[in-house]
Amino acid sequence: MPETTRYIDLPAMRRLIDKVGVVEAIRGIRDNLREDFGRWHDFEKSPRTANHSDVGVIELMPVSDDEHFSFKYVNGHPKNIEEGLMTVMAFGALSETKTGWPLLLSEMTILTALRTAATSVLAAELVARKDCKTMAMIGNGAQSEFQVLGFHHLLGIEEIHIFDTDPKATDKLMRNLGKQINLIPHSSTASAVKGVDIITTCTADKKLAVIVEDAMVETGMHINAIGGDCPGKTELDGKILQRSKVFVEFAPQSRVEGEIQHQAADFPVTELWEVIADERNGRESQEQITVFDSVGFGLEDFSGLRYVYQQAIELGIGEDLDLMPVIGDVKDLFGFMQPVPARNR
């Protein structure tokens, strides 16, 4: 019976990732994702709940199987950067399903970037052409390095063309990874995406943006669209979807939040698990355009939290919290409170 809750705060997560390495963490989470998406029907799933305001959204993302339950609290506030705060920040927990005991309470801002990169890599492994060597990275903010590292090391992408409307973001990406990976800065999306094998869009603006126009998309491309993840927040010209094969995480959530939110309610999509389980085809030809319309789904956080919990225990990282009561007489919570220890008065 567990008696404590492992707590991974930001410094502990940094220590953990420092020990494991960013690429190995993305690889480990990608492996968990493949396993968890591969047993899709074991999970109780629901679209996340989202509380919207004019400037952003705060979301809760639960999922469970017979052994574990997880949830993530995550926000999306593009204008936060003007206040010196990040657009996306998160924390979450992993619990035992049979008792409800929280095994892990963790920061998830870093973990979200890792699991999003791992999911993008998994989707591209499943449906992009096998001979992809080049990518465009549109939006060079907080998620971008994780995407670039994942695609370079796990998919063999050799050349990455980068663009952001904020040149400082592109300079930051160059500074962080430009010495180890072949990054080529551009002054427009049109120039960055020209002739590449994969386009990753990872921009943040709470509006119906058209970051990638139909005319920019060539046959055989794979589009990894991450930034359109909320009602009223998209990145792709709808015409692209009409001539592509579209893959999603969990259709009931993606139809509300994803690029497909403006398509008909029965617009054909394939869920990633169906490709993993061999129930439906992935890419059907070298010429086909594939789109991963990613919004971020609770099962990805489950896979990520499962990874962090295992690593934290194995590496002895984090602190054990007395978060839940373990008391002699489980009906005497009042008695457990008396007397209050002197140091807490």
Binding site for ligand NAD (CB under 6 A): 76, 78, 81, 87-88, 112, 116, 138-143, 163-166, 169, 189, 202-205, 209, 211, 226-227, 229, 294-296
Q: In what order do the strands lie in the sheet with 68-76?
A: 49-52, 57-64, 68-76, 90-96, 102-107, 5-8, 319-321
> CB 194 → ligand NAD: shortest distance, Å?
15
> CB 227 → ligand NAD: shortest distance, Å?
4
> CB 301 → ligand NAD: shortest distance, Å?
9
- Residue 221 or 299: the one with the smaller Cβ distance to ligand NAD is 299
β-pairing verdict for 68-76 and 90-96: antiparallel
Give the residue nearest to ligand NAD (CB).
141
- Residue 96 or 205: the one with the smaller Cβ distance to ligand NAD is 205
- Residue 56 or 318: the one with the smaller Cβ distance to ligand NAD is 56
SS (H, E, C) the chain: CCCCEEEECHHHHHHHHHHHCHHHHHHHHHHHHHHHHCCHHHCECCCCEEEECCCCEEEEEEEECCCEEEEEEEEECHHHHHHCCCCCCEEEEEEECCCCCEEEEEECHHHHHHHHHHHHHHHHHHHCCCCCCEEEEECCCCCHHHHHHHHHHHHCCCEEEEECCCHHHHHHHHHHHCCCCEEEECCCHHHHHCCCCEEEECCCCCCEEEEECHHHCCCCCEEEECCCCECCEEEECHHHHHCCEEEECCHHHHHHHCHHHHCCCCCCCEEHHHHHCCCCCCCCCCCCCEEEECCCCHHHHHHHHHHHHHHHHHHCCCEEECCCCCCCCCCCHHHHHCCCCHHHC
Q: Which residues are tagged catalytic?
A: 229
- Residue 244 or 294: the one with the smaller Cβ distance to ligand NAD is 294
Of 14, 106, 93, the closest CA to residue 319 belongs to: 106
> CB 191 → ligand NAD: shortest distance, Å?
12
- Residue 142 or 308: the one with the smaller Cβ distance to ligand NAD is 142
- Residue 47 or 296: the one with the smaller Cβ distance to ligand NAD is 296
> CB 243 → ligand NAD: shortest distance, Å?
22
> CB 32 → ligand NAD: shortest distance, Å?
15
